Structure 1
């Protein structure tokens, strides 16, 4: 019994030693989107204020969990009047629903460094399941700091989240493309 207990403790200690918990490096991360405007061009934007928490215990990332929280009031498309309109009840209704939140539920390897990530997205007070493409760009030791890189891409319909439902698709497209580039860094233990 004592031998079993020691084995279980060593196993738990090794898992804990590898357990990784990260918050995105804000200087090297972006949470962006683009959407069709008047069917002839795209408008790009981003959320300037957001946090992504990543944790995993397996090197193959099969148990990785991503949790994203973004401040809707930090939306930035480069045009102040448009940003103000996007925060209004016509679109995101930021006064009532000030956060975008995503919690991953599962990650499945598609091939190589490409994964399918599923989870729940809450936007404008509506929560729906979404599937996103996750690319693991690798990791490096950068002057004693272990750094991981990811790219997340996906599409969603703004109408599924009651965002801008009174705005015709001919003016603002219903399909929104998400693109997020993320870096997570932590000092390497010596």
Structure 2
């Protein structure tokens, strides 16, 4: 009887460990959130958000049940041209004084090949929330050689329409493309 109780207890503890929820936080020094638009139909203009936080919560080692969340500071937009950055922060585009954050929270993650997923969720920009889907590449998990923590790598890519979020409505294509290419690279450390 004692042996049966012991085995049941060990099994329960093992299952709880396997199903334990792990939280992961983006490493700011090794993560980047970028975007690109086409200007006048002939050149790509790229930018990034310097300040953002991203987290993942998952119970599975391959992150196939992961919940991805992101918050970006609109005022941290940087295209390497101060005049353009100030214009993007203005009411003509993001209206950063009124809508200072961009947020995303995933609602589903579906396999799309080896280490590839379709990540869907709710994106809020400029006071508008829309369902979006992006491509997610899981680059693997390793033990960091210096601090011995588990680190996972991801790349997110996809296209958004700025018109869906009423960003820059007076600047039609081809002056500025409606489609915005998004790319985010991230290293996440287990907490």
TM-score (norm 1): 0.91
- Pairing 1:158–2:162 present: yes
Measured at CA, do residues 148 and 10 of structure 1 come closer, stay the same or move farther in structure 2, by a change above 3 Å?
closer
Q: How does 1:1-190 map to 2 (within 5 A)?
A: 6=9, 8=12, 10-16=14-20, 19-143=21-145, 144-186=148-190
Aligned residue pair count = 184
Q: C-alpha separation between the residues in 1 aligned to 2:27 and 2:177?
A: 31
Q: Is the 8 A contact 2:49 2:73 kept in 1?
A: yes
Deviation at 1:14, TM superposition (A): 3.6
Give unpaired runs (5+ residues) of structure 1.
none
1:173 alignment partner, SS class: coil
Q: C-alpha separation between the residues in 2 aligned to 1:161 and 1:5?
A: 53
Q: C-alpha separation between the residues in 2 aligned to 1:14 and 1:103?
A: 24
Give unpaired runs (5+ residues) of structure 2.
none
Deviation at 1:11, TM superposition (A): 2.5
Deviation at 1:5, TM superposition (A): 8.1
